[in-house]
Amino acid sequence: MTSNKPKIVVLGAGYAGMMTTKRLTQKLEAEEAEIVLVNKHNYHYQTTWLHELAAGTLDPNKVRMLISDVIDTSRVDLVHDTVVEIKKDENRVILENGELEYDYLVVGLGFEKATFGIKGMEENAFSIQSVDSSRLIREHIEYQFARYSSGEDTNEENLNIIVGGAGFTGIEFVGELAEQVPKLCKKYDIDRKKVRIINVEAAPTILPGFDEDLVDYARKSLEFRDVEFRIGTKINECKPDAFVVGDDNEEIKGGTIVWTGGVQANSILGKSGFEIFKGKMNVNTDLRAPGYENTFVLGDCAWVMNKETDRPYPPTAQIAIQEADTCANNIAALLRGGELEEFVFDNKGTVASLGGSHAMGTIFEGKKLYGKTARAMKNVIDNRYLFMLGGPNLVLKKGKLRPF
C-alpha cells in the first residue's frame, strides 16, 4: 500500500538504526511520516558483546533479540533484506530482493573489518563482526580442542589462539579467552600449559593512546591469567597457520587466528559513490552527508568532528546511540520546518571488560575504575542501553543481572 506521507528509510538495525527508529516513533505522530527499517537479519544484536560470544563465554541468544520484539511494528515497516547499493541521486535503495524509494534516509550499516591490504588476512583470519562470524570463532576453537583431545591432530601449536591487534576489541577478546580456555582444557582433558593465547600489537603498547595506568593494569591482569603479548610487533602477513611478523618475518603459529586490527565503514557507502576518508565518511555537524540534505550517516559509518580537538570522535556504541537522538530531532525539524541541531557528544567514559570479574576504565570526568567496580559499571552501561531500547522487560530478558 502506498501513502502520501514522507517516507523515512533507516538502513541497519544496530545501535544507530534501532535508536533512531525508536526515537522517530516517539517524536513523530503516525500521520507525519512512514518509517521503514531495513536489516539483513530479523534480529538486532549487541555488537559490544560479540567478543564474549566469540570466546564462548556468552550464549548467542543472549546477544540478540527479534527486532519486532522491541520496535513498534504498528508504526514501523520492518524489511528483512540486505542492502546492496544506495542510489543517492535517485533517492532509491537497492536491496537483494527489491528496492525502496525514500524522502529521508538514515544510514546505520555499521562497520566491516579493515585489513589494510595485509596479505592473507582476509582469507585466513576470523573476525568479530557479527553474530555469525563470532559464532564461527567459538566453534573453531572448540573444534581444535576436540581434534587434539581425540588424537586426530597431534600438533600442539594448533591449540594456540593468536589475535592480531590489541585495541579494545582485541583486549576484551583475550580477556574472555583467559576465562574460557581453562574451562575448555578441563572439558577436553588438555593441560592448560599447552594452550597459548598470544595477542600481537604493532604499537609499543597495548591499547595505544589510552590512560597509562589503566593500560598497565589491563596488561598485568591479563598476563597473570597467562595471556602473552607481543607488542611493537607488526603483522606483515597472515598464513593459514601463522602470523608473519616483524623485520625478520618470524612466524607466530596458531590453529585459531583472529584479526582485531581495525574497522572501517560498511563498504556499501563507498560502492554507492559517497566519499570515504580514512575508512569512514566525514559528515556535517548535523550528521548529514555533505551535499545530501535528506541523508544522515551515523555510527561506525561516520566520522563526526570534535570541534574542540579538531579530530573526529572515535566511533563507539555510546556515540551511535547519542547520534540517534540528534538524527531523529533533525528529521522532525526537516518535516516540520524547524532548525537543525548540531551533534554534541556527551562523553560518559570508556570501560572495557577483561573477562570474568575483571575490567577497567574511566567514567565521567576521567574517574578511573578497576576490577569488580569497573566490571559492575560495564554491566550498568550495557543494561542502560537495553533499558532505553526496550524498558525494564528487555533488561530482565537480555540484561546482565548477575554481578559477573
- Of the candidate spans 36-44, 154-162, 368-376, 383-391, the one that interacts with ligand FAD by CB under 6 A turns out to be 36-44
**Should residue 111 be labelled a site residue for ligand FAD when binding is judged by CB under 6 A?**
yes
CA dihedral sign, ordered 293, 299, 305, 306: positive
**Should residue 300 be labelled a site residue for ligand FAD when binding is judged by CB under 6 A?**
yes
**Should residue 383 be labelled a site residue for ligand FAD when binding is judged by CB under 6 A?**
no
Q: Which residue is nearest to ligand NAD (CB)?
A: 167
**Should residue 166 be labelled a site residue for ligand NAD when binding is judged by CB under 6 A?**
yes
234-253 residues near ligand FAD, rule: CB under 6 A: none
25-84 residues near ligand NAD, rule: CB under 6 A: none
- Of the candidate spans 107-115, 157-165, 367-375, 395-403, the one that interacts with ligand FAD by CB under 6 A turns out to be 107-115
SS3 250: strand
SS3 236: strand
250 counts as catalytic: no
**Should residue 127 be labelled a site residue for ligand FAD when binding is judged by CB under 6 A?**
no
Which is the catalytic residue, given 52, 96, 142, 172? 172
Contact pick of 21, 127, 169, 383 for ligand NAD (by CB under 6 A): 169
**What is the total count of residues that contact ligand NAD (CB under 6 A)?**
25
Contact pick of 8, 9, 10, 13 for ligand FAD (by CB under 6 A): 13
- Of the candidate spans 8-16, 76-84, 165-173, 211-219, the one that interacts with ligand NAD by CB under 6 A turns out to be 165-173
CA distance linking residue 96 with residue 172, whole number of Å: 34
Q: Which is nearer to ligand NAD, 110 or 148 (CB)?
A: 110
C-alpha grid cell, residue 367? 574517574
**Should residue 163 be labelled a site residue for ligand FAD when binding is judged by CB under 6 A?**
no
Contact pick of 104, 168, 303, 343 for ligand NAD (by CB under 6 A): 168
**Should residue 372 be labelled a site residue for ligand NAD when binding is judged by CB under 6 A?**
no
Residue-by-residue DSSP string for 295-363: EEE-GGGEE-EETTTTEEPPP-HHHHHHHHHHHHHHHHHHHHT-PPPPP-----EEEEE-STT-EEEEE
Which of these, 360, 359, 355, lies nearest to 173 by C-alpha position? 355
Q: 192 — phi, psi (to 5°)?
A: -55, -35
Q: Which is nearer to ligand NAD, 71 or 263 (CB)?
A: 263
CB of 154 to ligand FAD, least distance (A): 33
Contact pick of 202, 287, 298, 369 for ligand NAD (by CB under 6 A): 202
Contact pick of 8, 10, 12, 259 for ligand FAD (by CB under 6 A): 12
Grid-cell match 557479527, residue found: 130
Q: Is residue 367 a contact partner of residue 383, using CB atoms and an 8 Å limit?
A: no
Q: Which is nearer to ligand FAD, 50 or 245 (CB)?
A: 50
C-alpha grid cell, residue 112? 566491516
Amino acid of residue 267: S
Helix or strand run (H / E) with residue 28: none
CA distance linking residue 250 with residue 260, whole number of Å: 20
Grid-cell match 534480529, residue found: 43
CB of 157 to ligand NAD, least distance (A): 20
CA distance linking residue 143 with residue 140, whole number of Å: 5
Contact pick of 76, 128, 258, 395 for ligand FAD (by CB under 6 A): 128
Which residues are registered as beta bridge partners of 62?
A: none
Q: Which is nearer to ligand NAD, 39 or 48 (CB)?
A: 48
Q: 61 — phi, psi (to 5°)?
A: -75, -15
**Should residue 317 be labelled a site residue for ligand FAD when binding is judged by CB under 6 A?**
yes
**Should residue 141 be labelled a site residue for ligand FAD when binding is judged by CB under 6 A?**
no
Q: Is residue 260 a contact partner of residue 128, using CB atoms and an 8 Å limit?
A: yes
Residue-by-residue DSSP string for 105-125: EEE---EEE--TT-BTHHHH-
Long-range contacts of 98-101 (CB under 8 A, 24+ apart): 100/9, 100/36, 100/38, 101/7
- Of the candidate spans 21-29, 166-174, 324-332, 340-348, the one that interacts with ligand NAD by CB under 6 A turns out to be 166-174
Amino acid of residue 227: V
Q: Which is nearer to ligand FAD, 64 or 242 (CB)?
A: 64
User: Which of the residues are catalytic?
Assistant: 172
Chain contacts with ligand FAD (rule: CB under 6 A): 12-17, 38-41, 47-48, 50-51, 82-83, 108-111, 128, 169, 172, 266, 268, 299-300, 315-318, 320
